[in-house]
Amino acid sequence: MSDNEKKAAKRPFVSEAVIIACSPLIAYFLTFIYEAGFAGVYKIPLSLVELNLTTVFTMAVAVATILFFVLMFFNPVYIFAVGPFRGKEYINTRIAALVPILILFLANLLLFGALWKKWIFSLIFLIVMTSVVFFLPLITQRSKESYLEKIKADAESYEPEDLYGLLAKHLGRSYFYYLFCFFMFFLIVYSAGQAKAMKEKEFLVLASSPDTVVLRIYGDNIICSPFNRGTKEVQRSFIIHKVGETPPLELRLEKIGPLVLKK
């Protein structure tokens, strides 16, 4: 590790003041990502998505709670994993690099369950990255005897000649690691929105004919769509009612899901 990277590693990624100042923006952005995932399942135009303070606050509390329990679970797991390699940074950094990908896979597995097509890509990504990080040195460093020597030699021989390497040299690789973690977290939030839409069973239904379901309420807009009770298919068309319109809408909460978009 170069002197510039060591200095960058010692500096905090961002100050506490910046984190506090950006918290409302981050909460708003995460809420929009979640709603984008939900809307994408039923092809609701993103131009109709409207967030309010209650939704953003609920998302902020949910994210903070989830992060707390995730850190409580993965911290001892990480300590156990890197324990045998304490002091061997070339191993610890590789384990740390795989943690966000592992969390992405486990989150998708928990969110979608039997819907394997939604988490198989993250599993393949995890397998590929694990192979590159831990098994590729067996091929590229065949002159070394022990496995740890191969890993260390591979880390020391890394001389990037691309834009990533240039920025990492001057900013430190920790910046890119945190950005990578943020990106993985955004993917998880988007997947959570998708899973909510795909596994939701209870919906508000208009007491009228034909059968019409309330997919989402954004601000004063009630986004509705015709659906088939037999096939549980939602039409690719929308009816937008307004909150407080006259005559008032009669809505019933019914267990009609999970619903799927009609092909």
Q: Give 169-192 pLDDT, tens digit per residue.
A: 555 567 777 888 889 999 999 999
Q: Give 198-253 pLDDT, tens digit per residue.
A: 999 999 999 888 899 999 999 899 999 999 999 999 999 999 999 888 888 899 99
Specify the higher pLDDT residue, 186 or 71: 186
Confidence band, pLDDT 50/70/90 cuts, at residue 12: low
Q: Rounded to the nearest 10 degrees, how much is the dihedral formed by the CA atoms of 26, 27, 33, 34?
A: 160
List the structure tokens of 154: 């591979």
Angle between helices 89-112 and 120-130 (to 10 degrees): 170
Q: How many helices (H) and strands (E) does the chain have?
A: 9, 7
Angle between helices 16-41 and 53-82 (to 10 degrees): 110
C-alpha–C-alpha distance, residues 92 and 120, integer Å = 26
- The structural domains of the chain, with segments of one domain joined by +, span 3-199, 202-261
